[in-house]
């Protein structure tokens, strides 16, 4: 089994890699070759080519961006090696170039963020007020960035009073999240809501907001909407620092192993499998939820 992981930019990614290493063990009948592409598509293409020349039985890969995979996936197809996409998907002309994709419904995650904001503004009696929003986006061209942006934007479109002040890329990392948030805070005096497309960027953004003298969260100046629901972020939800965290489930290798079982048994597989995900607020982050969190 050749696995091309796209990098190690976030807590989520570390957990996703751990899920692969825990499930695809020799004990479970696998010989795992895993490569970290460090956010570079060219490294992923190299890794896939090396898996092909090693004649692996399956290639699993988490594509850093959606486009640019047609040639290398054609090579895998010609070598007769099934490709399973993990986490993110690809945008290719011929969908037979990969067997299936196991990951998150990123559009739904973005919509959930928007629907939560609708409910929250309603609860606060601010439904018709002008609401100034900034969006910290993840890696440009990645499925998680594209899907979450699309989903949230579809809800924004229904609210002429929701004013998107800015949307800026911050690469899914804390350092970049802080840097980008600092510049947004200098540019805009009146930010009501930050939508940060992963927890790591959120941690950086919260630091920047606090250093600027403003407060965040349930009783704060700025509402914080985050994605992933990592342990450290859920603790902040429980404290009221992050208002809502839309879960992105990194424990995907078990699902992939089930899909491989189906393929091995000659069963038909679907083109897309979504993992189970929830929405976390102050009301449902219990001790039990925190105890079970593995990322």
Measured torsion, CA atoms of residues 81, 60, 112, 287, in degrees rounded to the nearest 10: 140
User: Judged by CB under 6 A, does residue 13 bind ligand AHR?
Assistant: yes
Nearer to ligand AHR among residue 241 and residue 249 (C-beta): 249
Residue (of 192, 280, 200) closest to 237 by Cα position: 280
User: Judged by CB under 6 A, does residue 12 bind ligand AHR?
Assistant: yes
Which of 174, 198, 202, 252 forms a contact with ligand AHR (CB under 6 A)?
198
Which of 9, 192, 245, 247 forms a contact with ligand AHR (CB under 6 A)?
9
Nearer to ligand AHR among residue 52 and residue 253 (C-beta): 253
Which of 135, 233, 248, 259 forms a contact with ligand AHR (CB under 6 A)?
248
What is the Cα–Cα distance from 275 to 181, expressed in whole angstroms? 30
Nearer to ligand AHR among residue 9 and residue 120 (C-beta): 9
Measured from the CB of residue 92, what is the shortest distance to ligand AHR in angstroms?
18
Nearer to ligand AHR among residue 221 and residue 277 (C-beta): 277
- Write out the binding residues for ligand AHR, residues 114-173 only, by CB under 6 A: 144, 172
> Would you say 289 and 136 are in contact if contact means Cβ atoms under 8 Å apart?
no
Which of 5, 10, 35, 112 forms a contact with ligand AHR (CB under 6 A)?
10
- Write out the binding residues for ligand AHR, residues 57-96 only, by CB under 6 A: 87-88
Measured from the CB of residue 88, what is the shortest distance to ligand AHR in angstroms?
5
Provide the binding-site residues for ligand AHR, judged by CB under 6 A. 9-10, 12-13, 87-88, 144, 172, 198, 227-228, 248
């Amino acid at each position: 089994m050749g696995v091309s992981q796209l990098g190690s930019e976030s807590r989520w990614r570390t957990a996703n890699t751990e899920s692969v290493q825990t499930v695809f063990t020799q004990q479970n009948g696998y010989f795992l070759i895993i490569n970290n592409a460090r956010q570079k598509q060219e490294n992923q293409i190299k890794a896939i080519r090396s898996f092909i020349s090693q004649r692996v039985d399956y290639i699993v890969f988490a594509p850093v961006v959606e486009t640019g995979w047609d040639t290398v996936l054609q090579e895998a197809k010609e070598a007769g090696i099934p490709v399973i996409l993990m986490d993110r998907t690809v945008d290719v002309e011929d969908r037979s170039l990969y067997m299936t994709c196991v990951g998150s419904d990123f559009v739904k995650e973005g919509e959930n963020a928007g629907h939560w904001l609708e409910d929250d503004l309603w609860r606060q009696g601010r439904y018709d007020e002008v609401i100034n929003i900034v969006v910290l986006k993840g890696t440009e061209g990645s499925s998680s960035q594209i899907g979450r942006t699309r989903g949230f934007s579809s809800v924004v479109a229904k609210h002429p009073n929701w004013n998107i002040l800015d949307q800026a890329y911050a690469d899914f990392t804390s350092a970049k999240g802080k840097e980008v948030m600092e510049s947004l805070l200098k540019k805009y005096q009146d930010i009501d809501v930050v939508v940060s497309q992963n927890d790591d960027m959120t941690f950086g953004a919260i630091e920047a907001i606090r250093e600027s003298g403003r407060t965040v969260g349930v009783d704060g100046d700025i509402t914080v909407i985050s994605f992933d629901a990592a342990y450290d972020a859920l603790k902040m939800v429980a404290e009221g620092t992050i208002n809502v965290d839309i879960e992105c489930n990194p424990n995907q290798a078990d699902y992939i192993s089930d899909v491989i079982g189906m393929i091995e048994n000659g069963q038909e597989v679907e083109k897309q499998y979504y993992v189970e995900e929830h929405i976390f607020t102050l009301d449902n982050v219990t001790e039990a939820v925190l105890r079970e969190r593995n990322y």
